[in-house]
Amino acid sequence: MASLIIGIDALIDRYVNYLLIEKGLSQKTIESYTNDLSRYTEFLNTQHIAHVSGEDTPVIMKHLIDLRKSGLGARSRARHLVSIRGFYKFLVYEKIIKSDPSRIVDLPKTGFKLPGILSVDDINKLLHTPDTKKPRGSRDAAMLELLYAAGLRVSELVNIGLLNINLEACFVRVFGKGSKERIVPIGMYAKKKIDRYIKKDRPVLLKNITSPYLFVARAGNPMTRQGFWKIIKRYTLQAGIEKEITPHSIRHSFATHLLEGGADLRSVQIMLGHSDISTTQIYTHVAQEHLKRMHEKYHPRG
């Protein structure tokens, strides 16, 4: 096989070029993948393994065990496995190996824990907390509603342009990591709050100046990530929610609630803008736990 001829370092270089050129991932993401694969390479060297193959499942598992023994947490080990899976998938795609040995290796179970997920009731409390009679409250309500409706990253939310929202068709055009574009539906609740904000309260906040951004702060500038984090913290306290909530908690809640409601994983992956479905799969554990509780509660022999 080709893997017996091409060295591991050369294969990783080819994979990184693929992520950069073909997949268009951000530099930060590529650096994370590279660091994980470098550590995997170091492990292979200690095992005197010079080449990768489709039979590497025990090797990958031993690497994860060694990472655990070194004190690496479950979440970090899960990230390492995601990096390794992507590498082996690429090797199969390039016909360098015939089968993916990482496919049957499970993510560390405790790595599935997603802190700060809100219940649907808590989400409703949070979304109804801003005072929409005031221009800033109307803006904040529209931002929170859109964040939950579309499962956006906070960086995506604060940088949305006025022209990127289509209220007639009920969707938002988002530019995510690596400037990748995706179209996400937003629903009627978000539509109503955004429509009111645009027509009535956004002009008041702009004070006769123009801005390309949908959600504006001072002088028509976009809100900063830190500024929006403070807004969420304030409304969380006002709503009486005791959990520590961040903007990313709303994104986690969006994905979890969709899966609990029966959405398929592929659709959630597209809406979240994940390049690799294995990144989205961390949410399935939470949904499965919900189904287990429902079975125990309502099944005659649960």
274 among known catalytic residues: yes
285 among known catalytic residues: no
List 68, 173, 248, 290, catalytic entry: 248
Answer for the pair 140, 231: CB distance below 8 angstroms, yes or no. yes
Amino acid in position 293: R
How far is CA 244 from its chain centroid? 18
Spatial distance between the Cα atoms of 187 and 170, rounded to a whole number of angstroms = 6
Which residues, at least 6 apart from 56, have a Cβ–Cβ distance to it below 8 Å?
88, 101, 102
173 among known catalytic residues: no
List 39, 153, 202, 257, catalytic entry: 153
List 202, 251, 252, 257, catalytic entry: 251
33 among known catalytic residues: no
Edge-to-edge order in the sheet of strand 165-166 = 165-166, 171-175, 181-185
235 among known catalytic residues: no
Spatial distance between the Cα atoms of 156 and 173, rounded to a whole number of angstroms = 10
List 14, 177, 180, 290, catalytic entry: 177
153 among known catalytic residues: yes
Give catalytic residue positions: 153, 177, 248, 251, 274, 283
